[in-house]
Amino acid sequence: MILASSLPVKDDPAPVAVPSPPSGQLDRPPPDNPAPTLPEIPGTGVLRQGDSGHGVYELQVRLLQVPNIYEGGAISGRYDMEVRAAVARFQKWYGIRGDETGVYGDHTRRALMLRTK
């Protein structure tokens, strides 16, 4: 006869159930701790005719580095018809797809940055 008191006893405690968060709230930060916003970096974002500022200035500097794209173009920080035409020319000559013609978006930006300093 075997007594229960003589059986080996496990020292491991029973697993503790951890309540799971309600569904749909797994990816959200707590309401009192909003996600931090990143500052805008000059030269990022979509640029188009009518825009002005540092990002356009940087675009003009880079366009001048590509032969026959913006030769003699002004570095004024204003996205005028000349800049639009140069961006459209760059997009066409280098087969850039994904951005509106003459608009300096993410695809055009990557391609121009790879070809310039």
The pLDDT tens digits along the chain (117 residues) read 555 555 555 555 555 555 555 555 555 555 565 555 534 444 468 999 999 999 999 999 999 999 999 999 999 999 999 999 999 999 999 999 999 999 999 999 999 999 999
User: Which tokens is 109 given?
Assistant: 């930006």
* CB neighbourhood size of 45 (10 A): 13
CA distance 111 to 115: 7
CA distance 39 to 75: 25
Single pTM value for the model:
0.64
Phi-psi category of 24—alpha, beta or left, where left has phi over 0 and alpha has psi -120 to 50?
left
User: Which tokens is 27 given?
Assistant: 């990816």
Instruction: Check residue 45 and give its pLDDT.
Output: 85
* CB neighbourhood size of 115 (10 A): 13
